[in-house]
Amino acid sequence: MDAPAPPPYRRIVDEIRRRIDSGELAPGDRVPSTRRITQEWGVAMATATKVLTTLRQEGAVRAVPGVGTVVAEPQRAARTEPPRGRRPRDTDTGLSRDRVVRAAVRVADAEGLRALSMRRVAAEFGVSSMALYRHVANKEALVLLMADAAFEDVRLPDPAPEGWRDRMEAGARLQWGLYQRHPWLAQYLSITRPQPMPRAMALIEWTMARVEGVDPVTLIHMAVTLLNYVRSTAAGFEDDLEAEQETGMDQNQWMASMEPVFEGILQSGSYPMYAGIDGAGEGVVTLETMFEFGLARLLDGMEVLVGRRSAAGPGTVS
């Protein structure tokens, strides 16, 4: 008797795996979205969602906030507990503050800041959590070190933009890229209770270095306004990462599952603005498009302000 045919979702999973194994889809490439799967294979949205969920569970793909589901890099799975039959070591041979911080950053990047704990980081080294306390005082101190280390990775353009607007835009994009690499970082930072992070302060100083003709109070308001715009927009990266872990669906899958509900709302005729983009396709409104639109408008406003202040001379915030 012939073996039963595999279910539709499994056939699609196998086909996408074939594309990955053959190199047709390389690490970092986006895989077909749920909508694309329904169109290409003629299956229901639930089946398409199961395809991506299965691929993610098998480690073939991963979700990147603000980008979508991409082919995962081949890597050794992180240990969340010591191998069976082996107890965590109390010794910390080979550990250092830098190694602990870097391991913690990797955990937070992959799993979110809520998942971070001293025990979770210790598991990366196969040691007890007590071994980490020889290098960092507590989790709060660890996260501060992580944030400062993340800013260390920023590479300033050389040569730097000369114009003040180009410099501010470049600084904003450096922050945006940093938050994409470290989704937890934006939500950790605070403008009301700023942490002492010299590397972050250096980036902001560099960003504002070409603004002239305004008083120091206005300048710091400009700096914090720009910082907070980028930070608050990028906070969606961590929100999306946590939502995926809770629901098992990436952003595209979740939006696809909500599509029938939104369609019913839009058909009421009470929301013409939203209805205007219905059917416009994926990627019309994303964190990336919101960042680009808002950054341009924010700098437009700054340009008016700088022009007025330069003409009037140093003054006060108004």
- Interval 242-274: pLDDT, tens: 676 666 677 777 677 777 787 788 788 888 877
287-302, pLDDT tens digit by residue? 888 899 999 999 999 9
* 316 has a pLDDT exceeding 70: no
**pLDDT at position 75:** 53
- Name residue 62's beta-bridge partners: 70
Rounded Cα–Cα distance for residues 287 and 268 (Å):
27
Mean pLDDT lowest for which of 67-71, 119-123, 209-213, 310-314?
310-314
Nearest to 66 by CA among 280, 316, 302, 291: 291
Tell me the mean pLDDT in the region 33-54.
81
List, in sequence order, the alpha helices (H) in the chain.
8-21, 34-41, 45-57, 97-111, 118-125, 129-132, 139-152, 164-181, 185-188, 198-207, 216-247, 251-266, 272-275, 287-312
What whole-number percentage of the chain has pLDDT above 90?
A: 24
Q: Cα torsion for 99, 105, 107, 108, to the nearest 10°?
A: 160
Bigger pLDDT: 258 vs 206 = 206
- Reply yes or no: is the peptide bond before residue 159 cis, omega within 30 of 0: yes
Mean pLDDT lowest for which of 54-68, 119-133, 243-257?
243-257
**pLDDT at position 153:** 84
* 318 has a pLDDT exceeding 70: no
**pLDDT at position 312:** 67
**pLDDT at position 301:** 93
**pLDDT at position 92:** 57
Q: Count of residues for the chain?
A: 318
Tell me the mean pLDDT in the region 141-164.
90
Q: Cα torsion for 97, 230, 181, 105, to the nearest 10°?
A: 20
pTM beyond cutoff 0.75: no
Nearest to 150 by CA among 95, 117, 187, 124: 187
Bigger pLDDT: 78 vs 71 = 71
Mean pLDDT, the chain, whole residue set: 81
**pLDDT at position 262:** 75
Tell me the mean pLDDT in the region 57-67.
73
